[in-house]
Amino acid sequence: MATVANPIEVKKQGRQAFATLGVALLLAVAGYCALFVAPTERTMGLIQRIFYFHVPFGWTAFVAFFISFVASIAYLRSRAPKWDWLAVSAAEVGVPFVTVMLVTGPIWAHPVWGIWWTWDARLTSTFVLWVLYVCYLLLRSLIDEPERRAVVSAVFGIFAAFDIPLVYFSIWFFRTQHPQPVIGAGGSLDPRMLDVLLLCWGATLALAALLLPQRYRLEALRYEVERLRWESDRRGGAATFSEAKK
């Protein structure tokens, strides 16, 4: 027998498909502008174009981790599961973005610096940030009880977020291999380069905004499955105890 599709679900799927197509087009336009529209940097040449991927992915990771930080604080204050779902969803979305930043950095650095990696303050603090959030996700897999997992994860997530300002401000606090900022006061970035950079950042933010609600819904479903399993185990234990008393 043929089933009738739920109109609400069909509408949601249509919006999701439209949003996915829009983000894909935005990423394509941003990639084209980064490779062909932005002017070529005089000193580094074509390799500098990786800047339009390296920096936006890093900034977007910071945004995702900041969302996780705020959601972790909100969970500890309210103990509402929705904040735990948001915290882990944002952290899991942020990890691939900071991974892209870590991978593209050495690809850019080798032709310019002559080395793939150096343990300066910016690179080291970024690597530590990646390790902290990978550990955050691993930690959640080691704790079965949902409420205890959420509390421990929230505390760890707040601690991990303190590395974000260290990463960002490391080039001011320490002498590093990285150049000084080219954006803002004292910056020397060509206006066309800045326009393309902001376009690329908008595209990566749109990608994160597309992924985050999907991951959030998955976490909500996972929580419901775990809740039902815990209730089933509790009832099974109570039934076994009743049978033992007879």
How much is the pLDDT for 54?
Answer: 94
Could you report the per-residue pLDDT of 33-86, keeping only the tens digit for each? 999 999 998 888 899 899 999 999 999 999 999 999 999 999 999 999 999 999
| pLDDT of the chain, 246 residues: tens digit per residue | 445 457 777 777 878 889 999 999 999 999 999 999 999 988 888 998 999 999 999 999 999 999 999 999 999 999 999 999 999 999 999 999 999 999 999 998 888 888 888 888 888 999 999 999 999 999 999 988 889 999 999 999 999 999 999 998 887 777 766 666 666 555 578 889 999 999 999 999 999 999 999 999 999 998 888 878 877 766 665 555 455 555
User: Helix or strand or coil: residue 202?
Assistant: helix
Buried b / exposed e over 120-141, threshold 16 CB at 10 Å, is ebbbbbbbebbebbeebeeebe
Q: Specify the residue for token string 């955050």.
A: 136
Predicted TM-score (pTM) of this structure:
0.88
In a domain, residue 106? The reply is yes
In a domain, residue 13? The reply is no
In a domain, residue 201? The reply is yes
Nearest one of 64, 47, 241, 72 to 155, comparing CA atoms: 72
In a domain, residue 43? The reply is no
In a domain, residue 1? The reply is no
In a domain, residue 243? The reply is no
Question: Which whole-number Å values give the CA distances from 219 to 13, 22, 65, 162, 203, in the listed order?
Answer: 19, 25, 17, 25, 25
Contact 139, 153 (CB under 8 A): yes
Calpha distance 22→130 (Å, rounded): 29
Q: Specify the residue for token string 């954006």.
A: 183
How much is the pLDDT for 237?
Answer: 55
- Point out which residues pair with 41 in neighbouring strands: 45
- Could you tell me the residue range of the domain that residue 82 belongs to? 49-181+192-223
The total number of structural domains that make up the chain: 1
